């Protein structure tokens, strides 16, 4: 301590000597050094740098603007901003220098100039650092690609299975909606495939290469809904991410935002959503920043929004803003012609997921499925088929395989528990009802009735004979034809 006290009188003196020593050492080790004043004029240049710049001596540079000596210099920027540029590559003619630039301030903190050092006169000295940077950059890009893949449309119109008139019309309307930027409202019962259709509309739109972000409104607690939609600033509320978070509108910028079960949205959030749709800008929770967004919105609901508006549960102005292009998805019971194709697709997906051989449905099993009302639509159909697959070891699923999984066999319209029929009789009754219903719908035309049931004409006649449905029975099933 006594020795140090004799050498240095104060901490400032230590700092001054250290800074002078550091500058002298750095100037001697580097490949060149320069200093400029607050007007970016050269006030000092060492001889090594002068030679690299092609000057006869350092005196030639004094008093000249730094860009006259070094055309690509960023020294003026350092003086103007007061921010250092710690590592950069400076191109001078055919050469490349690795440089660092730092501002110089007086005792009162005012910027009075800047100094720059040429650390290396060959870029290859930085190869280890550059290689590390490139590795980090590659990992970042890979992570960004994985995130982007997760926000791409997973389905196209090829995924919309069916060739019935109702399905064909549905796809026609959806393809037309994909050509426009207007908001789309998808309406239909639960399980009809509204989210799948939203994916397909996005995939066929000009925004197909941009993000597709889906949000189920009914699954978000009301207290967090605003943050989910619009994002939150760091520490905006208790438990919020310290780094802040982007809302779904920001994540979907440039692409499509799909809001499922939009009818369950609270009225307070509805007003803010309306403003975002009209102004195309969002304000994160707890922030004063307004962010511009470019988002195409597709909404879906299983509720009757008009009834919700009349009941005061949904804003009329938001309903009109969402209901620009409206598409109603038909229930499964209205497109039973697609039942065979849907079953085959579901069985193929189950086989792919499990790695087991693909199962098949017999005509009798398909007929039984065709007699059910399907209140849960395609989602319920998938559930029923998966249950039947798990309970059967056979490659072919028979009508009997659906005895325990299909509510039709134990529906209220069926026999009472005290007078239970045999399974064969129950299946026969179900087929008889289905055939008579098809004949009514086809006005007695057997070919059309067979087509409605999804079976061949020969099979149709075989079942009529097997069930004892003679000419009189089928004639009674068909409505009378009026003649003039």
Residue-by-residue DSSP string for 229-240: HH-B-TTSSTT-
Classified by CATH at the fold level, domain 420-484 comes out as Arc Repressor Mutant, subunit A (1.10.10)
Q: Which residues pair with 460 in a beta bridge?
A: none
pTM: 0.58
Class of domain 31-123: alpha beta
Structure confidence by residue, pLDDT tens digits, 51-105: 888 899 999 999 999 999 988 889 999 999 999 988 887 877 777 778 889 999 8
Looking at the chain, the domain(s) classified CATH 1.10.10 span 420-484
pLDDT at position 131 is 63
Q: How confident is the model at residue 223 (pLDDT cuts 50, 70, 90)?
A: confident
Q: Is the pLDDT of residue 415 over 50?
A: no
Structure confidence by residue, pLDDT tens digits, 301-349: 999 999 999 999 999 999 999 999 999 999 999 999 999 999 999 999 9
- Identify the weakest region by mean pLDDT among 5-19, 46-60, 98-112, 233-247: 5-19
State the Cα torsion 476-478-480-483 to the nearest 10°: -140
**Which CATH number is associated with domain 157-237+245-330?**
3.40.50.300
pLDDT at position 311 is 93
What is the DSSP track for 69-110? HSTT--HHHHHHH---EEEEEEEETTEEEEEEEEEEE-TTS-
Q: What is the mean pLDDT of residues 351-380?
A: 90
Q: Is 338 helix (H, G, I), strand (E, B) or coil?
A: helix
Task: Give yes or no for a contact between 374 and 381, defined as CB atoms under 8 angstroms apart.
Answer: yes
Q: How confident is the model at residue 411 (pLDDT cuts 50, 70, 90)?
A: very low
**Which CATH number is associated with domain 334-413?**
1.10.8.60
Looking at the chain, the domain(s) classified CATH 3.30.450.20 span 31-123
Q: Is the pLDDT of residue 290 over 50?
A: yes
**Structure token digits, residue 107:** 């005792």
Structure confidence by residue, pLDDT tens digits, 135-170: 766 666 666 555 555 556 778 898 899 999 999 999
What phi, psi does 95 have (nearest 5°)? Answer: -100, 160
pLDDT at position 401 is 87
Q: What is the mean pLDDT of residues 37-45?
A: 93
Task: Give yes or no for a contact between 455 and 419, defined as CB atoms under 8 angstroms apart.
Answer: no
Higher pLDDT, 203 or 478: 203
What phi, psi does 264 have (nearest 5°)? Answer: -90, 10
* Antiparallel, parallel or unpaired: β 360-361 and 325-328: unpaired
Residue percentage of the chain with pLDDT more than 90: 42
Residues with Cβ within 8 Å of residue 343, at least 6 apart in sequence? 361, 366, 369, 381, 385
Distance of CA 284 to the CA centre of its chain: 19
State the Cα–Cα distance between residues 369 and 414, nearest whole angstrom.
15
pLDDT, mean over the chain: 81
Q: What is the mean pLDDT of residues 29-54?
A: 88
State the Cα torsion 452-456-457-459 to the nearest 10°: -110
Compute CA distances 65 → 44, 50, 71, 76, 255, whole Å: 12, 15, 10, 9, 48
Structure confidence by residue, pLDDT tens digits, 365-379: 888 898 888 989 999
Looking at the chain, the domain(s) classified CATH 3.40.50.300 span 157-237+245-330
Task: Specify whether the backbone of 113 is left (phi greater than 0), alpha (psi in -120 to 50) or beta.
Answer: left
pLDDT at position 240 is 55
Task: Give yes or no for a contact between 324 and 277, defined as CB atoms under 8 angstroms apart.
Answer: no
pLDDT at position 141 is 65
pLDDT at position 412 is 42
pLDDT at position 100 is 87
Q: Is 468 helix (H, G, I), strand (E, B) or coil?
A: coil
Structure confidence by residue, pLDDT tens digits, 108-138: 889 999 999 887 755 555 556 556 666 766 6
pLDDT at position 338 is 93
Residues with Cβ within 8 Å of residue 129, at least 6 apart in sequence? none
Cα–Cα–Cα angle for 106, 108, 6, rounded to 5 degrees? 75
Higher pLDDT, 46 or 287: 46
Length of the chain: 484
State the Cα–Cα distance between residues 358 and 455, nearest whole angstrom.
21
Q: What sign for the dihedral angle of Cα 214, 215, 219, 224?
A: positive
Q: How confident is the model at residue 17 (pLDDT cuts 50, 70, 90)?
A: low
Q: Which residues pair with 297 in a beta bridge?
A: 257
Structure confidence by residue, pLDDT tens digits, 440-482: 667 778 888 787 777 887 778 777 777 766 544 444 444 444 4
């Amino acid at each position: 301590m006594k020795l140090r006290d004799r050498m240095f009188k104060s901490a400032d003196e230590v700092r001054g000597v250290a800074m002078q020593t550091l500058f002298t050492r750095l100037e001697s080790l580097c490949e060149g050094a320069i200093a400029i004043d607050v007007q970016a004029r050269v006030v000092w240049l060492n001889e090594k740098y002068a030679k690299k710049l092609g000057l006869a001596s350092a005196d030639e540079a004094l008093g000249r603007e730094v860009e006259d000596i070094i055309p690509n210099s960023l020294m003026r920027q350092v003086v103007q901003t007061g921010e250092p540029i710690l590592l950069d590559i400076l191109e001078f003619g055919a050469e490349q220098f690795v440089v660092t630039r730092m501002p110089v301030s007086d005792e009162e903190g005012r910027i009075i100039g800047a100094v720059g050092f040429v650390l290396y006169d060959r870029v290859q000295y930085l190869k280890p650092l550059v290689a590390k940077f490139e590795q980090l950059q590659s990992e970042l890009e890979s992570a960004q690609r994985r995130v982007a893949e997760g926000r791409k449309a997973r389905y196209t119109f090829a995924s919309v299975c069916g060739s019935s008139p109702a399905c064909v019309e549905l796809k026609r309307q959806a393809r037309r909606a994909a050509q426009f930027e207007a908001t789309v409202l998808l309406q239909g019962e639960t399980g009809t495939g509204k989210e799948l259709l939203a994916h397909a509309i996005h995939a066929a739109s000009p925004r197909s290469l941009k993000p597709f972000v889906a949000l189920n409104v009914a699954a978000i607690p009301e207290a967090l809904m605003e943050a989910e939609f619009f994002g939150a600033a760091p520490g905006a509320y208790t438990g919020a991410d310290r780094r802040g978070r982007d809302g779904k509108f920001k994540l979907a910028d440039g692409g499509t935002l799909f809001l499922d079960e939009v009818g369950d949205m609270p009225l307070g959030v509805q007003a803010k959503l309306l403003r975002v749709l009209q102004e195309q800008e969002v304000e994160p929770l707890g922030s004063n920043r307004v962010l511009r967004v470019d988002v195409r919105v597709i909404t879906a609901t299983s509720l009757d929004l008009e009834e919700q508006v009349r009941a005061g549960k949904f804003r009329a102005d938001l309903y009109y803003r969402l209901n620009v292009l409206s598409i109603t998805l038909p229930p499964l019971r209205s497109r039973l012609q697609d039942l065979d194709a849907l079953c085959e697709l579901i069985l193929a997906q189950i086989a792919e997921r499990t790695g087991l051989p693909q199962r098949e449905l017999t005509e009798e099993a398909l007929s039984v499925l065709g007699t059910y009302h399907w209140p849960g639509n395609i989602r319920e159909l998938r559930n029923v088929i998966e249950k039947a697959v798990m309970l059967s070891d056979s490659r072919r699923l028979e009508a009997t395989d659906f005895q325990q999984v299909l509510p039709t066999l134990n529906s209220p319209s069926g026999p009472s528990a005290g007078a239970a029929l045999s399974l064969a009789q129950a299946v026969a009754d179900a087929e008889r009802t289905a055939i008579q219903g098809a004949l009514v719908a086809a006005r007695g035309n057997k070919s059309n009735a067979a087509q409605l049931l999804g079976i061949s004409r020969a099979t149709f006649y075989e079942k009529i004979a097997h069930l004892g449905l003679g000419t009189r029975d089928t004639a009674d099933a068909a409505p009378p034809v009026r003649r003039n």
